[in-house]
Every structure is written in C-alpha cells, then in structure tokens.
Amino acid sequence: MIRVGIVGYGNIGRGVEKAVLAAEDMELCAVFSRRDPEGIKLALSTAPVLHVDEAPRMTDEIDVMILCGGSATDLAEQGPYFASLFNTVCSYDTHAKIPEYLAAVDAATNDTTAVISTGWDPGLFSMMRALFEAVLPNGGTYTFWGKGVSQGHSDAIRRIEGVEHAIQYTVPLGDAINMVRSGVMPQLTTRQKHLRECFVVAEAGADKAAIEETIKTMPNYFAEYNTVVHFIEMDELLAKHSAMPHGGMVLRSGVTGDTLQGMEFSLTLDSNPEFTGSVMTAYARAAFRMANENLFGAKTVFDVPLAYISPTERAELIKELL
Amino acid sequence: MIRVGIVGYGNIGRGVEKAVLAAEDMELCAVFSRRDPEGIKLALSTAPVLHVDEAPRMTDEIDVMILCGGSATDLAEQGPYFASLFNTVCSYDTHAKIPEYLAAVDAATNDTTAVISTGWDPGLFSMMRALFEAVLPNGGTYTFWGKGVSQGHSDAIRRIEGVEHAIQYTVPLGDAINMVRSGVMPQLTTRQKHLRECFVVAEAGADKAAIEETIKTMPNYFAEYNTVVHFIEMDELLAKHSAMPHGGMVLRSGVTGDTLQGMEFSLTLDSNPEFTGSVMTAYARAAFRMANENLFGAKTVFDVPLAYISPTERAELIKELL
C-alpha cells in the first residue's frame, strides 16, 4: 500500500481524499492543514487531521504527499518545502511561472521525487498538446475550455462594489470548434474562441448597469471577450450554480503531406476539483514508484511513462490494454 | 540529425517516408526491401533503396530502423532480427500475441532499444485506455473504430468465389456512442457498436445473392455484426473507395464518488497509413534517445515518457506546452 498524505483540505483536497479511498493500492494516512485541526472534519476518511507543522516528523510514515494548496499563495512556498521532505505531487497552474517553480522544487528535492503541475490543464491537456505536435508536426493546436466555472473570473466579479455573489462560466464557441475540425487551421481571436457568461447577485440598491459595465470592460478578464451578464437572486444562484462542472478540449488538425489528419481530446467533468484530485492521485503513484527507482528530482507529466501512473502491473497493461 | 532506415516499402513505409522528411531532426538514410531494389522508386526521397540483406552492414550508419512490414507474416521474424542490430520501432498489431512478441524482441535486443506496437491501435488508443483507467478507476472504457477501411475484412471478402474486388468500411454506431457519453456505462454487444458496410465488385455472371450470404454469415468477420453489402462496378469502386481513411475513439465514463466524469480521445484520419507512419516516426525519436541513455530492451508506449517523442527540447516543452 502506498501511504498518502494530503496537504490542504479545500475542494481539491476533498477530491484527492475520494480518489485515494477509491485506489486499491493506497491508504490515506493523514490530512494536514494550516488551520486548527480540531475544526476540520473529513468528508469520508477516518484518517487523522494534523497541523502542517507536524508533517516533518512523519517522513517515515508517508510515502507521498499530495499538495492541494493554491498556486497563487500556497504552492510557491509549500512546493519546495514539502519536496525537501517527501515525494510530492501538486497542481501548480500559474503557466507563466512554471519553469521558475520547477527549478525551485527540483533544487529542493532530496532523494525525493516531485511531480509538478498535474491535473488537467496543466496536466492532461499539456500531455495532449505535446503528443499531438510530436505526431503531427505540421498543423495547429487549439485548446478550448468549458463549459465550466472559472474561479478566477468569479472572484474578479465578486470584488466589484455592489456585488454580493457571482459565478462565471467560460463557454467555448461551437463555430470556432467546427472551424478547427474542418481543417482550415484558422487564426482565432480570444473573442472568437470563448464567451464569458456571468451570473451576478447584486446588493440591494446597487447600480446594476454600472456593475455590468465594470465587468464587461475589465481588462485581462472580460474586455477581450463577448460577455453576457445575468442578474439573479441569491437563492437561484445557490440552487443552480453551486456545482463545479468544467471540461474542455484540445484539438490538433495537421497534415501528413497533403492529407488532413485530426486529433482530439476532451473532458466533460461534473466536478472539476474531484477530477483534478483523481489525476493528482494517479501521479502520486508515479512519484512513489519513480522515487523507489531513484528517479529523483522535479518531474512533469512529460517525464512520466504511463505505466507509472497505472495501478495495473506493466505485464497486465500490455496484455489487456495495448 | 537522427539517421533513419525504413524496412518495407508498402503503404506504411511510404507514410513513414513522408513523416521522416517532415521531421526537422531526422534524415532518411535508406529504404530496405526484400524485393529487387531496382524495381522500387521512392515517392519523395532520393535515399538509396537496398536489399534487406545489406542492412547488417549498416549498423554504423543508421540510428533507428522503422519496421513497416505486416504483423501476420513479416514482423514475427523481422522484429527480433532487426532489434538485435538496430534500435527499432514497429507497429505489431496482433493483439493476442503482443506479450509473446515483446518477449522475443526483448530477448533479441543487444544494447539496442525497440519500441513495439506503436501506431494508433495498438499505440495511441492503448495509451488513452491506460491513462483513462488510471485517472478514473471506477468506470467503463469503450473503443470505437471508423468510419474507416479494414484491410483484413476487405481481404476476407476478396477471397470469396465470384468477387473481383471489395472494400469494407467499419462504421461506429452513433446510438452506442451517445449511450456511452450519457454516462450509463452500457454493456454493448459487438452488433450494437459497429456496422460493417461492404462495397463489392462481382465477376461477370457471379451469383450475387450467394456472395452476399457468404459475407453476412462469415464467422469472426461478419456474422456477429449487422452487415450491409452494396454491389458496384469496378470504376466506381476505384473512383470512390481507393482512399484509406480511418479513425475512431476511446471513451471512458466513470465516477469520482457519485459524480460523473467523461474522457474522450478521437482521431479523424484521411490517411490511415500516413498517420500510422507519423506515430511510428515520433517513437523512432524515442527509441534513439532511450538507447543513448542506455535504456535498452523492448519498450511499449506505456514505457516512453512523452518528452522522448517530441522534437522540442524538454525545457521548451515545459515553457510552451505545460
């Protein structure tokens, strides 16, 4: 059994908990939090909840630590710190800073293996982009996200004066997807690829027109997109928009000689954090196995053979799935 | 530059030729055939065509040999033989015999690396099946093929008395795909998943009704399917059914806890042999690189990290695609 620890018990941490319990070759040893452990009750497991400060004493009891903190604040510090003590997996997703983060984690590893930036984007989508380009070097790759909730965009709306709550959906545009599938390899603008749909609860007496204008003109978040804003009541928002669906697709159309070839990968997820947790858990298996073979250091999804993430023995994989 | 040799110059060999010429880090050194080299003219390259018996003398001139023979007759012998002399890649696709073939190739390698059973099924589809099951252990995986030409089924029809020529398309059934996508994880029979559509040119005076009956009741090939037979003239068959399109999809629907999650990979190929050749060429890069790192022996797509098949440097992959 692979002995797993979870650091951070938010949505992703709960997703990892489910995935670890579903894995026949893993056991959940402990959940670590910076909050007071007394206040945290696990959804499913009877594993102990401990303060993160207790983690360093448990290097002999935990084979791999799954880091479930956020990229913006937690992981920049936790990633290298935990990699110096344990084999780790994380879902660091600040694309622009990944090389810097990779270097910091790699420098921190200490006869340990850290698989960084797992999940689905970065993660599975990255794998598909690399695979598709390797197989079809002449072509174009397109990534679409959604329909799904973007936490970053939802948060941006919530910071606007007069907004009580908000949920933002990223919606991929069918016309753009069809154009890609047709093989014309279009140059698509940001606006052509995705629509942003916002469900907003305004405070009593707030100026809705002003809120809508602030959303639609917000640089980096909304100004480059066609954005639709719906004002609704809090009970409707909670009833209809509390789930965390997401998904998306990576498409490549390319040519071999003059012949058109198309490759596509897509995810349709009823729970984004649970799926992300499942991917991280599969890569936790890889971190453990690579460390056992002295393949130490920081790794990415590009470095990990698929046999390492599967609970199935290699010989069985070859017999049943090849 | 990676110096590539091609063994066998049929449809797949011509596909590999195109892919090697399109790869910026490869050069085609020679094409080997069991036929008289004088009678073979390459489609694109000016590389020499040599008899296979000359290959053993060229171990210092070729970094990786791409084996383009058929599984049924050529590869069982050629796979181990060439793996003893060169790094190799093949598309061995007799699913039931892969473990035996792997063992034979592995035993033959001699400070060489042989990546077996690349292409798309086995190959990319196998990778997706393994990836999907690792990420969503609770669920069902479904593989659909087509719409595309099956050489094996076309050949089976051509062997029937009174048949002059025939092309068989494997057609995936939309109802079955939709049922899988809905998340009900159906048990699907062979008949529910695919239709077989046959275009047959009968010899003058042949008994068409008897031919149709023979096709539809042929065990293993057609009896388990709904089969449609169209009799057409030779000029129509050559005009409309000479291309080699194919494709298919791997789907998994599974649950994390009670939550439904769907993963999908699909290929839409205007040329099956050219795409297969492109995949093999990407894995030739991996065979060469793994051998350079003393990772010798027989490998499968489950054993090869994606970074090894990409022409892009790892640091660049991480920066641009992760």
List the single residue in B102, B134, B306 with the smallest CB-CB distance to A282: B134
Q: Is B42 on the interface with A (CB under 8 A)?
A: no
Distance CA B109, CA B291 (A): 11
Residue of chain A nearest B263, judged by CA positions: A267
Distance from CA of A246 to the nearest CA of B (A): 10
Chain B contact set for A277 (CB, 8 A): 256
List the single residue in A127, A264, A307 with the smallest CB-CB distance to B302: A307
By the 8 A CB rule, do B307 and B282 touch? Answer: no
By the 8 A CB rule, do A95 and A118 touch? Answer: no
Whole-angstrom CA distances from A249 to A174, A229, B85, B138 are 12, 25, 42, 22
Contacts of B174 (CB under 8 A, 6+ apart): none
List the single residue in B23, B134, B266 with the smallest CB-CB distance to A310: B134
Q: Is A73 on the interface with B (CB under 8 A)?
A: no
Q: What is the band of A176 on the pLDDT scale with cuts at 50, 70, 90?
A: very high
Q: Which residue has the tokens 């990778």?
A: B127
Are A271 and B278 within 8 A, CB to CB? no
DSSP string over B82-101: HHTTSEEE-----GGGHHHH
- Our measurement of the distance from residue B297's CA atom to the centroid of its chain's CA atoms, rounded to an integer in Å, reads 21
Distance CA A215, CA A228 (A): 9
Residues 187-246 of B with CB under 8 A from A: none
Q: Provide the phi-psi class of B249: left if phi over 0, else alpha when psi is between -120 and 50, else beta.
A: beta
Q: Token pair for residue B105? A: 């190739």
Reported pTM: 0.96
Instruction: Convert the pLDDT of each residue in A196-222 to its tens digit.
Output: 999 999 999 999 999 999 999 999 899
Are A267 and B264 within 8 A, CB to CB? yes
Q: Token pair for residue A277? A: 């947790």
Q: Is A315 on the interface with B (CB under 8 A)?
A: yes
Instruction: Convert the pLDDT of each residue in B129-182 to its tens digit.
Output: 999 999 999 999 999 999 999 988 999 999 999 999 999 999 999 999 999 999
List the single residue in A138, A265, A305 with the smallest CB-CB distance to B305: A305
Contacts of A34 (CB under 8 A, 6+ apart): A51, A52
Are A126 and B322 within 8 A, CB to CB? yes
Instruction: Convert the pLDDT of each residue in A20-54 to its tens digit.
Output: 999 999 999 999 999 999 999 999 999 999 999 99
Are B277 and A256 within 8 A, CB to CB? yes
Q: Is B58 on the interface with A (CB under 8 A)?
A: no
Mean pLDDT of the A106-113 span = 97
Residues 124-163 of B with CB under 8 A from A: 124, 126-127, 129-131, 133-138
Residue A300: predicted pLDDT: 98
Instruction: Convert the pLDDT of each residue in A265-310 to its tens digit.
Output: 999 999 999 999 999 999 999 999 999 999 999 999 999 999 999 9
Mean pLDDT of the B96-108 span = 97
